[in-house]
Amino acid sequence: MTDWIKEVEPLTQKGQISVPYSWWAGETAGRFLESLRDERKILGTRCGSCGKVYVPARKSCSRCFVDITEWVEIGGEGVIEAFTVVRYAHPVQPVQAPFAYALIRLDGADVGFLHLIKKDLEKIGVGKRVKAVFREERTAHILDIDSFEFV
């Protein structure tokens, strides 16, 4: 094999490609998002083998590696397990700063999920109780839960 790479000058071209696409949420995520949109309910799935409850709902258990078929309704309240406060604006952020990303374990769930806290950031802390606030107009998106606020 020849060592041709030594004779080639590497060139790079900086560019931006816009590739529009749509995601198919799938059966499990679709049902989870539709329940947010249509019923203002947070659903989880419970593993039939180990009993672990996942929110957002998952199709398979990360502990047992089995398919999950049982759906459970989870309340809209929970506890902050971790958080970070965002104080600087950036185009990729879902809301205007300041706000917080919080890992929230809802009552009845065994795992936390990441969501927003937009008010009363001076109250934020691990172990603080929060509740879901739904948007009036919902579109089957995780941000149908507008944010969480302190109980």
Question: Which letter does DSSP use for residue 27 in this model?
Answer: H
H or E element: which one contains 134?
A: strand 129-134
* pLDDT tens string 53-109: 999 999 999 999 999 999 999 999 999 999 999 999 988 899 999 999 999 999 999
What are the extents of the domains in the chain? 23-150
Nearest to 49 by CA among 33, 32, 64, 28: 64
* pLDDT tens string 72-87: 999 999 999 999 999 9
Does position 7 have pLDDT exceeding 90, yes or no? no
| pLDDT band with cut points at 50, 70 and 90 for residue 9 | confident
| pLDDT band with cut points at 50, 70 and 90 for residue 117 | very high
